Structure 1
Amino acid sequence: MARAGVTYHDIAKAAEAIKTQGQEPTVDRVREHLGTGSKSTIAPLLKRWRSDNGEAADVSGLPNDLVEVVKSLHERVQQMADHRIEQARQEFETLKEELRKELTHADNTMAQLTARQRDLENQTERLSKEKSEQSRSLEDARVSLAKAESQRDEAAARIVELKESVAELKQENKDIRDHFEHYQQRTAEDRQQEREQFRSVNQGLNDQIQNLQHRLAQAESRASELFDANVQLQRHADELKRANGALNSDVKGKIEDVQNLKHELEEAVAKCREYQHQNDHLAQNMAVLTTQKADVDKQVAVLSQTLETTKTELKTTQDKAALLIDENKVILQEKAVIQGQFKQLQSSL
């Protein structure tokens, strides 16, 4: 059925105008002259105009076999195009799904590696903090040990000084006793001659003896105090030795812990490098997959362009086939008319 605005009258006027210009009216020329209408609409109306005007159809007498071959060719082209499109679409969907899965797996792996790297960084930072704290503790222990050793040296020096003071006091006491004995002997020899002087001297000596005895008691008390202080200093020195041994043991343990932490840190750094290498490898794989995806997109674009071209060719072939079918119908009608006329002529003869 003709479209609205394209009627048989329009086709007839266009065909007459083209014929007036000295050209043969064809579907394309009529369509170009009208500026509208489809070939499938113009072709039967143009054939009707030719039939009404008693003109012979401008055909080469195509047989039915040729029309069937054209139909078969059209169907094969259509099937091949559909099959190729479907195959390309399935391949694209399969490749797209595989790429999506690989991309998802790569994203998950990247996320896991990133989380693991963060954990390793946090662990490394924590180990660094613990190492710093242990270093500070070790330094404090060394400072305490140095202070203890200094106190021990001071205590030892003080003990030596106290021993020297005790020795001096003992020597002083001995000198006083020797002087006192010598003085008593001399007093006994001179007693007869200096009796009067002896009393006064004896009184002075008694006072001096009391003073010396008091000094001796003070010296003995001081020696006792120094001995007690020496015992306390010795105990303190023993305690410092034990503390020094404990600190040395603690320092050794801290050093071992630091070495273990260094070993763990080296292992963590090695694992981090390994994960970084895996991450780079995955990044390379993703780059390759991205390149493959770009190639597939290009192939899909080429296939799409080929499909559009095939569709255009198919549309052209369909139009030509429709035109040939319409012309074949007209030829068959004309053939039937000629055969009827021929039969009439035979019957009249």
Structure 2
Amino acid sequence: MTPGVTYHDVAKAAEVIKNQRQEPTVDRVREQLGTGRKSTIAPLLKRWRSDNGAAADVSGLPNELVEVVKSLHERVQQMSDHRIEQARDEFKASNDELRKELTEARNTIAQLTARQQDLDDQLLRVTEKKSQQDKSLEDARVGLAKAESQRDEALARITELKESVAELKQENRDIRDHFEHYQQRTAEDRQQEREQFRIVNQGLNDQIQDLQHRLAQAESRASELFDANAQLQRNADELKQANATLHSDLNCKIEDIQNLKHECEEAVTKCREYQHKKEQLAENMAALTTQKADADKQVAVLSHALETAKAELKTTQDKAAFLIDENKVILQEKAVIQGQFKQLQESL
């Protein structure tokens, strides 16, 4: 019972309704008061009707008949009110349930939409990551091609250096052979000149002039030979210096060859590392492809769930519309009952 609703309030509201040439009912009294429960207003309204029974008895009918009619009216009114209240409660419960289901469906749709958005974002990130890995793989392929080109150039350079070393060795051997041949020829010439000088010196004792002339020629020839010998000695020193220089160049070339071998080994190692990275990238690409397929399956499942939720929402909306129509029918039945009761009251 709502505090403040008294018999005086109910009686006053009933008088107002009666002055408006309408039958005071529980709903109308409650609407006039703006508060109160029907279970509280009904007995107070019944008391008011009992207190105003004499004023209602204006047709000369027996009091028993009037009481029966009033009792019938109250029963009909209570049944109608009860049925209307029951229909309202059922409609409210059904409406609350439908609203709850609609809220749950909206939440489910929102979750599915968010999940689909997450899957789209994941798919976008996977696609971007795959593009980056494809780019890294292409860079690795380009680096591998460059490394192979550098390796081929290094091998060609090593071959050229080997050929240069072989040529230098052959040139050194030729110089040594030429120098030894020159020394041997010089020794043979000197030995031959000495023999000739001794023979001429012994055989030309009677030919002093000729011998002096030949001696002068021999001395001149000897001077030239000494000069030639000195020149050959200087040539030999220069050849020794050239030989030392060649040995130094040879050592430098050998060191270069060692460095090139080391670079070649590093290039081969890098090539193997690039190959290993390439295999890892291929494995990662396969894993990402599998993940993308799983994501596509999840998107398909979620799309199916979304369609199911939409169908359930449509069914719920149809059910709500049906309940609203049923409520309208009940209200129409109430109006018909009230009209019948009014006709019965007028006839009485």
Matches within 5 A, 1:249-268: 249-268=262-281
One-letter amino acid of the structure 1 residue matched with residue 194 of structure 2 = E
Of 218, 231, 249 in structure 2, the residue corresponding to residue 218 of structure 1 is: 231
Matched, 1:269 2:290: no
Deviation at 1:285, TM superposition (A): 0.9
One-letter amino acid of the structure 2 residue matched with residue 153 of structure 1 = A
* CA distance in structure 2 between the aligned counterparts of 1:238 and 1:317, rounded to whole angstroms: 116
Does 1 or 2 have the higher relative contact order (CA < 8 Å, sep 6+)?
1
Question: For 1:149-197, what per-residue CA distance to the aligned partner results, in whole angstroms no more than 9, with x for missing partners?
Answer: 2221221121111112112211221221121122122212312254443
Partner of 1:82: 95
CA contact (8 A) 1:124 1:265 kept: yes
* CA distance in structure 1 between the aligned counterparts of 2:345 and 2:207, rounded to whole angstroms: 192
* CA distance in structure 2 between the aligned counterparts of 1:129 and 1:72, rounded to whole angstroms: 83
Of 113, 119, 129 in structure 2, the residue corresponding to residue 116 of structure 1 is: 129
* CA distance in structure 2 between the aligned counterparts of 1:325 and 1:113, rounded to whole angstroms: 70
Question: For 1:237-284, what per-residue CA distance to the aligned partner results, in whole angstroms no more than 9, with x for missing partners?
Answer: 111111211221222122212212321232233223222321221122
CA contact (8 A) 1:74 1:318 kept: no
Matched, 1:93 2:106: yes
Partner of 1:295: 308
Counterpart of 2:204 in 1: which secondary structure?
coil
Deviation at 1:66, TM superposition (A): 6.3
CA contact (8 A) 1:159 1:230 kept: yes
Partner of 1:177: 190
* CA distance in structure 2 between the aligned counterparts of 1:332 and 1:78, rounded to whole angstroms: 31
* CA distance in structure 2 between the aligned counterparts of 1:77 and 1:331, rounded to whole angstroms: 30
Partner of 1:330: 343
CA contact (8 A) 2:126 2:292 kept: yes
Partner of 2:253: 240
* CA distance in structure 2 between the aligned counterparts of 1:168 and 1:87, rounded to whole angstroms: 118
One-letter amino acid of the structure 1 residue matched with residue 309 of structure 2 = V
Question: For 1:14-48, what per-residue CA distance to the aligned partner results, in whole angstroms no more than 9, with x for missing partners?
Answer: xxxxxxxxxxxxxxxxxxxxxxxxxxxxxxxxxxx
Percent identity of the aligned residues? 11
Q: TM-score, normalised by structure 2?
A: 0.69
Q: Which moved more, 1:163-172 or 1:113-122?
A: 113-122
One-letter amino acid of the structure 2 residue matched with residue 261 of structure 1 = Y
Matches within 5 A, 1:1-349: 64=76, 67=80, 70-71=83-84, 74-75=87-88, 77-334=90-347, 337=348
* CA distance in structure 2 between the aligned counterparts of 1:199 and 1:329, rounded to whole angstroms: 186
Structure 2 residues without counterparts, runs of 5 or longer: 1-71
Q: Which moved more, 1:148-157 or 1:130-139?
A: 130-139
Structure 1 residues without counterparts, runs of 5 or longer: 1-60, 338-349
CA-based RMSD: 2.8
One-letter amino acid of the structure 2 residue matched with residue 286 of structure 1 = V
* CA distance in structure 2 between the aligned counterparts of 1:322 and 1:211, rounded to whole angstroms: 158
Counterpart of 1:192 in 2: which secondary structure?
coil
